[in-house]
Amino acid sequence: MIEGGLNRAESICLPFALKGKRRISISFPLRKGILCLGDLLLLNLSLFLLLTMGHFALLNFEVVPRHLIASNILFGAWLVFFYSVGLYDIERFATPGTIGRRLLQGLGISGMVTIVFFDTFSSFLMLPETILVMDLPLAAPLLFAWRVLFLRWSSNGTKMQILLCGKKTEINDFHRIMSESSHLGFEISRSFVLWNGENVSPASTILNCLNGNHIDILAISRQLREEPSVRGLFYELLCSGIHVVEISHLSEQLTGKIPVCAINEGWFVENLREFNKRGFETFKRVLDLAAAVLLGILTALIFPLVALAIKLDDPGPILFRQKRVGKGGRLFDVIKFRTMVKDAEREGVQWSAEGDPRITAVGHVLRKTRIDELPQLWNVLKGEMSLVGPRPERPEFVKQLAETIPFYETRHLVEPGLTGWAQINFRYGSSVDDAKEKLQYELYYIKNRSVRLELSILIKTLATVLRFEGR
C-alpha cells in the first residue's frame, strides 16, 4: 500500500556502509540488539580479565559454567538499568559526551543495586561482592569505546538520500530533526515546498527531482499523499525500489513523537481505528492494581515521616487536592503530598516553573524523589488514573491550551498517568510551547501503546527516580 506510505507493520530501516556497494538496511530493533549483545560480551570479558589479573584461584574450571550462569543473570539486570538510562536509544545518540553521561548513570545505578541486594544472591553468585562491583569500572572504558565505534559506524559511509515534499512548516521541522540526528545515516538530498498546500504539478516536480539523483526515500506530507494526481506515481516508485513514507511517520520513528503540524483529522481516523485494545487494557488494569497495592504497602512506613517533615517545614495541610481533567474530559481530584507554601495560588492559577519560589525546602526533596506523587496511588486504585499515561492537567490550563494547540484534547482518550512517555523524554512543562511539545510525545504513546512500551516507560521512570531528576 504505497500510497499510504510504508506498511505500518514494517519498521523504518537504518543503513550501514559497505564501500562500493549499496547500503544494507538494519532496523532499529536489530541495531539495539547488536549493542546489547556487545555489552554482554564486554561485561564477561572484563570479568575474565579481572579474575586473571588478581583472582586466578577463582577460575576453577569445574564451576565455570555456574560462574557464567550466575554472573550473566546479574549482567542481565545491569543491561536493564543501562536501558533505563537510555543507553539503547540509538535514535537519540548525539555525541560521545552524551554516551559518557548515560554510561556513568547506568554503571552507578547497577553498582548501587548490586551492593544493596548482594546478600540475597551471594550464595548463588559464588564470586565475592568486590569482584562483581569492580567489574563495572573495568568494563566502563570498554563499553564507552564500543559505543563510540558503533556511533561512527552508523554515521560513516554513503547515507540514504531523502527527498522531502510537503508544507514549509513540516520541511523546516524535519530539517531541524535531521541536523540533530546526522549519526543515523540519513541525508536530505532535495526538498520542495507545496506553498499553501498547492503546487502547479506536484507529480512532475517530484519526477524532476528524482531524475539524475539517487533517492532512497521519498518523504511526503499527508496532504500530498491524498492528491489523486500523484497516486499513480507512488505506485511506480514502489516498483523502482524507492520507499514512500509520510513525513510524520519518518519523524515519529526518529524522535519518538508525532509532529502536530504534519497531521490532520484523517490521521486520527487511520491510526486510532484499533484504539480499543482489550487484551492490553486488561493487562494495564491488572498491572495498575497490583503495583498500586504493592507500592502502597512498601511505602506506607514513610508516609508518617513525610507528613511530619511537611508540617515542620511549613504550616498547612499535609495532602493537597486539586481538580484535574481525566479520560473523556471528566474531572477528578488528584491527591499529592503538599510541596508548596500554603495559599500558593492566592494571586490566581499559574504555571509551576523551574526554581519556583513557592516550593518549600521539603517540597524540593519530595519532587526530586517523586515521593509527592505516592498518594496518587489511591487515584490509580479508583480507576481515575493509571501508572502510565499523559499527566493530568488542570481544567483552567486545558481550556487555554485547547484553544491554542491543535488536537490538544485527544490526550484525554486514555487515562492520565503517574508517569508517561512525555515525562521521560521532555523536561517539566511550564508554557504553551512546552505543552505542545509534550502533546507530540503523548500522541506517540496513544498510537503505539503496548505492553512493551508500558514496561519501557516504567523502567525509565525508575531510573529517573534513582537519579533524583523529578521536578
Domain shared by 181 and 218, yes or no: yes
Domain shared by 315 and 420, yes or no: yes
Which tens digit of pLDDT belongs to each residue from 296-317?
999 999 999 999 999 999 888 9
Domain shared by 419 and 288, yes or no: yes
Which tens digit of pLDDT belongs to each residue from 369-420?
899 999 999 999 999 999 999 999 999 999 999 999 999 999 999 999 999 9
What residues have CB less than 8 Å from 92, skipping those under 6 apart?
A: 86, 98
CA dihedral 355, 356, 358, 364 (to 10 degrees): -40
Q: What is the CATH number of the domain that holds 222?
A: 3.40.50.2300
The domain boundary, picked from 109, 130, 154, lies at 154
Domain shared by 116 and 73, yes or no: yes
Residue 8 has pLDDT above 60, yes or no: no
Domain shared by 134 and 197, yes or no: no
Q: What is the sign, positive or negative, of the torsion defined by CA atoms of 330, 376, 447, 248?
A: positive
Backbone angles phi, psi at 15, to 5 degrees: -100, 160
Structural domain contains residue 12 = no
Structural domain contains residue 17 = no
User: Which cell numbers in the block locate residue 390?
Assistant: 499523559
What is the structure's pLDDT at 471?
66
Number of Cβ within 10 Å of residue 218's Cβ equals: 23
Least confident of 26-35, 137-146, 360-369: 26-35
Please check whether residue 424 is in contact with residue 460, taking contact to mean a CB–CB distance below 8 angstroms: yes
The domain boundary, picked from 120, 154, 188, lies at 154
Domain shared by 72 and 174, yes or no: no
Structural domain contains residue 21 = no
Domain shared by 150 and 162, yes or no: no
What is the structure's pLDDT at 158?
56
Domain shared by 309 and 452, yes or no: yes
Which tens digit of pLDDT belongs to each residue from 132-181?
778 888 899 999 999 888 877 766 655 678 888 888 888 888 888 777 66
- Find where cell 538530498 sits: 189
Amino acid at 16: F
Please check whether residue 453 is in contact with residue 424, taking contact to mean a CB–CB distance below 8 angstroms: no
Residue 13 has pLDDT above 50, yes or no: no
Least confident of 33-37, 124-128, 425-429: 124-128
Helix axes 361-369, 303-313, angle to 10 degrees: 150
Q: Which domain holds residue 382?
A: 278-466
| Number of structural domains found in the chain | 3
Task: Answer with the residue of higher pLDDT: 202 or 91.
Answer: 202
Domain shared by 315 and 448, yes or no: yes
What is the structure's pLDDT at 397?
93
Please check whether residue 59 is in contact with residue 47, taking contact to mean a CB–CB distance below 8 angstroms: no
Residue 189 has pLDDT above 50, yes or no: yes
Q: What is the sign, positive or negative, of the torsion defined by CA atoms of 377, 381, 382, 383?
A: positive
Alpha carbon distance 20, 2 (integer Å): 29
DSSP string, 329-397: G-EEEEEEE--B-TTTTTT------TT-TTB-HHHHHHHHHTGGGGGGHHHHHTTS-EEESPPP--HHH
Alpha carbon distance 215, 23 (integer Å): 12
Q: Which band of pLDDT confidence, cut at 50, 70 and 90, is reported for residue 72?
A: confident
Residues 115-122 have a mean pLDDT of 65
Average pLDDT, the chain: 81
Domain shared by 195 and 131, yes or no: no
Structural domain contains residue 385 = yes
The domain boundary, picked from 154, 174, 199, lies at 154
Domain shared by 228 and 185, yes or no: yes
3-12, 16-25, 80-89 — most confident range: 80-89
